[in-house]
Amino acid sequence: MTAATITTPLGQILRSWRRSAPGPLWLVVPLVLIVAIPVADHFLPPDIHLAHLLIVAPAVTSVVAGPRLTALIGGLAVSSLIIAGAERGVLTTENVLVEFGSLAALSALLVIFSLLRDRLWLELLRARSVSDATQRVVLRPLPDRAGPVSIASEYRSAEADTRIGGDLYAVARASDSTRLVIGDVRGKGLASISDTAIMLGAFRAAAHRQSPLPELVAYLEGAVRWGLAEFSESSGSEADVGERFVTAVVVDIPDNEPVVHVISCGHPPPLLLRNATATALNVPTPALPLGLGGLADESYVQATFPFAYGDRLLLYTDGVSETRDGQGTFYPLAERAAAWTDQAPGPLVQKITADLQAYAAGPLNDDMAMIVVQRDETPGSPSTPPSQQVPHHDRHHPDAAADDVVHSVGDRGPTHGPGRPHPHPSHPAGAGNNWRLAPKTAE
């Protein structure tokens, strides 16, 4: 990666500035002054002297050009002053000598300023290039396709000139399924990158294995808890470890079954998009956020939902669902997404992102991440007739029963059957399932 690949707002400003710097239009003003002032002095009365305006020439040049061109224009300005003084026969007067010394000294200072600025600019570009490459390693771009599903994603950090923050996503292929994770680290911006890296590293290390989804999430819980504790100990902030966690949704999409397996750890539910409807896939037994599993005898239970060919799954963070307009109203994600269920993943992500920015009417104040996954036909397989597809039930409908979801569990604990209360707090309506623990109070 080179400095030319920087796409942040700061990089764009620096590139545009450098492109405009050597342009001939920028040299018109200093060159006109250098030529016009001696000519004007020849015709003006003796008590009117314009030579002091020559300092404008190297000053303008130093703003838009490098040290060499600044030195050249400064030298021409000094020569112009000498010519103007010689024309009037006042070259050796005290006034002209002071102007000559001032112009030469200021031109030299402007050359030094231009040289230092260019060095700092190059150092900044190198630092931005390293930062850009590092962030791409931590949060790798998602592929356009993984197995029988096509994927599109969008990520925006709350902090300017950064690519990643407290939100995360990743995809991995197992032998017969595609696994995705989307999550939200407590906090936002650069301060949460270490926790983001811990979570993504654990997922990439284990997601490709053939272990069941509950075992994968159990591994993530242990890895995240250990990683957060180790980082807190090394940074000397052990008191903060109990307040750091990651909300996440982990999904597994089998290649040969029209279903999706979901485990939610305190994260907003995915949306199933089909036939102009957006249905929230609320799991019956949500788990604690990752990193907090030690607070309870946690059991990870996966819920299975229909996910037929042509269906789209929208995964997102609370930076999307909890964006507010000028009146403080949350962004109606399900309502807006339902209007675009006929869009392919790429255009759908672009429409939601543009609509979200217009709704916020300003810069987003939180990190946001979004993934759209569409199940496509497997190569060579016939279309599945609607009568043979797994039926879909609207879980928001009052007549929908909990038995519409198939439950399975790994080896971490017993299965929580339909209707059995879960020992952990569920996500309150409208809060985005990204709940936070209240800080401990001193006794």
Beta-ladder partners of 371: 153, 315
- Residue 372: the pLDDT is 96
Contacts of 189 (CB under 8 A, 6+ apart): 157, 158, 159, 162, 165, 166, 367
The answer, yes or no, to whether residue 432 has pLDDT greater than 70, is no
169-194 pLDDT, tens per residue? 999 998 889 999 999 987 655 556 77
Higher pLDDT, 383 or 303: 303
pTM: 0.64
Higher pLDDT, 138 or 279: 279
- Residue 233: the pLDDT is 60
How long a stretch of residues is the chain?
A: 443
Calculate what percentage of the chain has a pLDDT beyond 90: 30
Which amino acid makes up residue 138?
V
Beta-ladder partners of 183: 168, 248
CA proximity to 108, closest of 74, 136, 141, 134: 74
Averaged pLDDT, 366-384: 73
- Residue 436: the pLDDT is 34
Q: Cβ–Cβ contacts within 10 Å for residue 211, how many?
A: 16
The answer, yes or no, to whether residue 203 has pLDDT greater than 70, is yes
Ranking 28-32, 85-89, 355-359 by mean pLDDT, the lowest is: 85-89
Q: How far apart are CA 25 and CA 273, in angstroms?
A: 54
Contact call for residues 395 and 267 (beta carbons, < 8 A) = no
Q: How far apart are CA 248 and CA 207, in angstroms?
A: 14
- Rank 37-41, 232-236, 268-272 by mean pLDDT and report only the highest: 268-272
Q: Report how far apart the first and last C-alpha atoms of the chain are (Å, whole number).
A: 54
58-105 pLDDT, tens per residue? 888 888 888 888 899 888 888 888 887 777 777 777 777 888 888 889
Contacts of 406 (CB under 8 A, 6+ apart): 259, 303, 304
Ranking 122-136, 161-175, 196-210, 409-423 by mean pLDDT, the lowest is: 409-423
What's CA 361's distance to the chain center, in Å?
18
CA proximity to 70, closest of 56, 51, 83: 56
Which amino acid makes up residue 23?
G
Instruction: Taking each helix axis as running N to C, give the angle between helix 94-138 and helix 56-64, from 0 to 180 degrees, rounded to the nearest 10.
Output: 10
- Residue 50: the pLDDT is 77
Calculate what percentage of the chain has a pLDDT beyond 70: 72
Rg (the chain; Cα; Å): 31
In order of 95, 259, 397, the CA distances from 391 in angstroms are: 94, 10, 15
Averaged pLDDT, 154-180: 84
The per-residue pLDDT of the chain, averaged, comes to 76
pLDDT band at 410 (very low <50, low <70, confident <90, very high): very low
Higher pLDDT, 291 or 191: 291
Tokens at residue 228, please?
A: 């957060």
Q: How far apart are CA 203 and CA 217, in angstroms?
A: 9
pLDDT band at 42 (very low <50, low <70, confident <90, very high): confident
Q: Where are the alpha helices (DSSP H) in 180-321?
A: 193-206, 213-235, 318-321
244-268 pLDDT, tens per residue? 789 999 999 999 899 999 999 999 9
